[in-house]
Structures are given as structure tokens and as C-alpha cells.
Amino acid sequence: MKKMCLVLMGSLVLFSSANMFAANLYNADGTVVDLYSRLYAMYQQADQGEITGDCSRLGLQTSTKVNNDLSVFARAEFRYDASQREKETVFNDLRNTYVGVDSSFGKVTVGNFDSVYYQAVSSKLDIYENAGFIALADGSTASRADSVSYSSPDIMGVKIHGQIRHYGQDQTVSGDEKIMFQGGVTFDMSALSLGIAAVIADDKAEAVFNTETDIEGEEITTATAKYSENIYGFSASYTLFEALTLIAMAEYQKDAGEADMNISGGVSYSYGMGDVYASLGQDCNEEIYYALGASWKFSKPMNVFVEYAGGDAVNPDDNIFTAGLRYDF
């Protein structure tokens, strides 16, 4: 199973603030430019052990205040493997690269960013540095490129979000240009956060291409729809005593498995010098998965973490143990 690298802290586009450890490069005349980085060095043990830093990233973010009612912003982020030196593994992915406008009428973002669904629903349980996060729809679902999103102004804690993702002719089942939609509603007030969202499927849109060789040795490529059924999700989090957070998520997709539901719950506790966190869930095939982890702040920008995850949805071959360091600036 492909290793999950999504991380909640610092990754959100529509609902997050700037990286708290960013180095300010410029701040004058209403324009702010920050440089930030996240560097990983971790050991992962599953069917075999490996050292990796593949979730490391380096980025620039900027914003300019045009007037009291209008500001513009941009971000460019590059992911790399900090444990390697080969050029094909250095800056091996372009992520969270976008421009936008924020005003009293709402926020518009254009480019490559995590999906509205992920930000509203599944991100609440994306609490692991490595493996353990399971969702029917994550940050790449009908997103991460050629996307436009809109978030309404905050009205008593409620925001409405919508997104379209454009697919070119060579990306679709039909061979025509297509657009997929998704949307959601979030509610944030005091210690309670709620999110509900849906990805609207189109069986003529984003394709999965499979190439096979027939009995005559000819290669035949077929295209099948990646999203042929809608995905619906709901999540909630509640923080007790400013330290203990309870999280729940439920997702549904027709014909996704034996149960068509992915249900999970989690808990996170901050003890001052770090965090302890865990989650338990049942996927669409009624298989149980689980994960737990802990971190300790070695210094303000660096923390040490250990994590353990198991279940077929995480890795069908073996449980995954991770130990590593993360450094932010």
C-alpha cells in the first residue's frame, strides 16, 4: 500500500494560518514574504526497515494587503526526500502551489492545493507524521492541480466551501475535457469544530489507465473512472481542557466495499512538551485499523516522534513502526 505522507499541521490551504516557525524575508508596504521548511529524518520498519525523509518540504508564502477590504496571497511548496542525494529524489513533488484573493466577500484560491473535502472533513484525523491516516477522500481527491475553490465569509462560525477541478482530454475516460465538483460546510466555535462535505463523481472524468498485453503481444490501454460514485463525509472534533481533543469521522461511498462506510475515531492529548495521539477505525471492507503515536519537543523547532500503525487498510503485509525527527522553521 502506498505510504501515507499527508500531515495535518501546516498543510491546510483554506482553514490554516502561516507556519509558526517561518523565517520572514520581507515585510514592508503591506507585503509579507516568508520562507519555511519541514525536514524529516525517520526510520520505518514494516516488512523491511528503511530510512526516509520523503515528507520533507521547502516553501515560500507571501501576502499583500491591497486595502482594508482586500488582500492577495500566493504560495509555492516543494517536497523532497531529506535522506537522499540523488537528483531525482530531491524536490520530487510540487505541492500547495497557488494564488488567491481574500476579501469581505470570501476567499478564492487557484492552483494546486488540498481538496475542500479533505480540509473540511478528513484532515481532522490526519494526525500522524507517517502511516495511520485512512480516508475515502484525502487531499488529492479531485484536487492538487488545475483547481479553483471558494470559501464564504465567516457567518457566526459557519463557512461554505466549493471547488471545481478541471481535467484535460488526456486525463479523462471520455477523452473530453471535464470538470468535477466538491463542496462542504464547516462550523467552528470555541472548542467545537464540525465539517460536512461531498465529492460529486463523474464516471466520464478522471481516468485510471491500465496497460495490458494481449495474446498477440500488443499493448492495450483501457481507461476506467477513478471516481464513479459520490463520496460523502462528516467529521467533528471537540477540545476538552485545552489539552484533550476528541475526533470522529464517518464517510460513505456506494459500492466502496462490503459496508460502504469508513468510520473512525481518535484522541489527541497535549502534555506541554509534546503530544500523545491515537485512532481506531473500520474501513469499507469491515477491516479494523488502528494507530498510535507520541511526540516530544526536543527544542522549539524540533520534535522526536514514535508511531505504530496496523490493519490491512494501513498495510496488508505487516504493521508499521516509525521513529523519527521533525524540524520546522
Least confident interval from 5-19, 179-193, 219-233: 5-19
Helix (H) or strand (E) holding 119: helix 116-120
Q: What is the DSSP string of 199-242?
A: EE--TTSBEEEEEEE-TTS-EEEEEEES--S-EEEEEEEEEETT
pLDDT in tens, 124-155: 999 999 999 999 999 999 999 999 999 999 99
* Parent domain of 186: 23-328
| pLDDT at residue 174 tops 80 | yes
Domain contains 157? yes
Is 153 part of any domain? yes
Domain count, the chain: 1
Q: How far is CA 188 from the centre of its chain?
A: 19
Mean pLDDT of all residues in 216-226:
86
Would 14 be classed as within a structural domain? no
- Please list the residues that pair with 27 across neighbouring strands: 32
Q: pLDDT: is 259 or 5 the higher one?
A: 259
pTM metric for this prediction: 0.90
Is residue 2 in some structural domain? no
79: domain CATH number is 2.40.160.10
- Confidence check: pLDDT of 8 > 70: no
For residue 186, being part of any structural domain is answered with yes
Residue 289 lies in a domain: yes
